[in-house]
Structure 1
Amino acid sequence: MKSSPGARSWIAAGVRHELLTRALPALRHDMAAPVSVIRMALLMLKRQVGAAAIDGAACAERVALIDNQVSELVAAIRSLRDWELATTDDGITRSALVAQCVSLMRAAFDLHGVTLDAEAFPEPKDDEPRWPAGAALRYLFLGALGYLHDGVDEAGTIRVEPLGADGLKLSAVLRDTASTNPVLDAHRAPRALAIDAIALQNLAEDMGYTVALEGDSVRFKLATG
């Protein structure tokens, strides 16, 4: 039975949920790290306030640290809105897209013995062209990473490269099988919710993008259509 447009949209929504689930450890870390610093700073502040001679400068330093960490925590919480497709965003540059997604997944991929190589991209700059629908592009990029990670068994590196002025190419580079680590291979067992070609195509089409899959590589433009 051929799936209906509504069913395909549900499939795409399920893929987005899976991708967000994979990114959650990094997002949780971004929110938990400031909380740990705040707790330590409050402990030190209590000790200083309870001392016989209060060091005003030291207390002010702790208060400034807490204020800074609260700002970091608020920014991390607000960043959750970046995952909402229904929210109109300011778009995103290509370099920023690569930097954000690689940062989100680098630790998880390292644990699986897969290196993310984005050396072809410089540090993000404000004067780069911005592409609309930053949330959709983030899901699409993470979907491409997941497709190569889940589908190419012997992938040792996933390389991210620019494709012209308006696209991206992600390719899997096979690792040396002689250096295979059985512990890492245990983490690369087939996933029940693997991002396969059908899942990635459904995701892209639902959001209005076109992807070209070639087994060990993924290419897509940053503009819809």
Structure 2
Amino acid sequence: MTVTHPTLSCAPTWAALGVQHAILARAMPVVRHDIAGMLTIMRMAAVVLRRRAQDASEPLSAQLEQQEEHLASLSDSTRRLRHWDLQGPHAPEPIATTVQLARDLASPLLAMRGLQLQLPSPEEPPLPATRVPQQPLLCLLLGAVHLLAESPAGPPASVRILPGSQGAGSLRVQAEGVAADAPPAAPTPGMPALDGAALAHLAQHLGAGWRHGPGWAEIDTPLPA
């Protein structure tokens, strides 16, 4: 007896969400490290404050100011989690701001392998200031960066994010040089490696443009709804 299954009309959406999950798996350790590290510092500072509070002759204003700075840093790291809330509001932000956020999230993982993530130098054309939905662009940017950094052909010395060829809403991510001594990217348990076809599918799902070739990828940002 042959059993037939109905067509999974949601399959493309599930596939796109799977690609997003693979990108999240690469970004989340950085956010977790930032939050856990700051909590450790604050716990140690609380112990110091408790001891000094017993000595009324020693002012605590400097230590309290440090605690406020730590709280602000912790709050900033926690707010980064909103970028992975698919149901949350996605207000348009300047492209350059989203690129900087992508750099903050991707650089630590690349640096562990001796790779650099670079933005345009002051002598080069600046990144666009066009305001576009941040979450889709951030996801695709991180995907493009890790796609090039994890290339089966070998890791590049650096990955650069530059203005793209299609106007103010376009970005180009390109690999430069060869990091001959860099270790290969550690595989993500239970997940296949990122590839250009998977990111093209995700871009289509997010309403963005995507082009890629050996050592480069270009993203046309989705327009605000």
TM-score w.r.t. length of structure 1: 0.82
CA distance in 2, matches of 1:157, 1:4: 40
1:110-149 map, 5 Å: 110-120=111-121, 128-131=129-132, 133-149=133-149
Alpha-carbon spacing, 1:65–1:94, altered in 2? closer, same or farther (3 Å)? same
- Describe the SS at the equivalent of 1:168: strand
User: Which structure shows the bigger proportion of residues in helix conformation?
Assistant: 1
CA drift of 1:29 comes to 2.3
The answer (yes or no) to whether the contact 2:206–2:222 under 8 Å persists in 1 is no
1:172 to 153, 170, 175: 175
CA drift of 1:189 comes to 6.5
CA distance in 2, matches of 1:219, 1:86: 26
TM-score w.r.t. length of structure 2: 0.82
Question: Percent sequence identity over matched residues?
Answer: 25
- Who is 1:94 aligned against? 95
CA distance in 2, matches of 1:17, 1:50: 49
The answer (yes or no) to whether the contact 1:210–1:224 under 8 Å persists in 2 is no
Partner AA of 1:205 in structure 2: Q
CA distance in 1, matches of 2:67, 2:76: 14
The alignment covers a number of residue pairs equal to: 210
Moved over 4 A (4+): 189-192
1:49-198 map, 5 Å: 49-51=53-55, 53-55=56-58, 58-120=59-121, 128-131=129-132, 133-151=133-151, 153-154=153-154, 155-163=156-164, 164-175=167-178, 180-181=180-181, 184-185=182-183, 187-188=184-185, 192-198=191-197
Alpha-carbon spacing, 1:121–1:102, altered in 2? closer, same or farther (3 Å)? farther
CA drift of 1:143 comes to 1.1
- Describe the SS at the equivalent of 1:151: coil
**Structure 1 unaligned residues grouped into runs of 5+:** none
- Describe the SS at the equivalent of 1:144: helix
CA drift of 1:67 comes to 3.0
- Who is 1:39 aligned against? 43
CA drift of 1:46 comes to 1.4
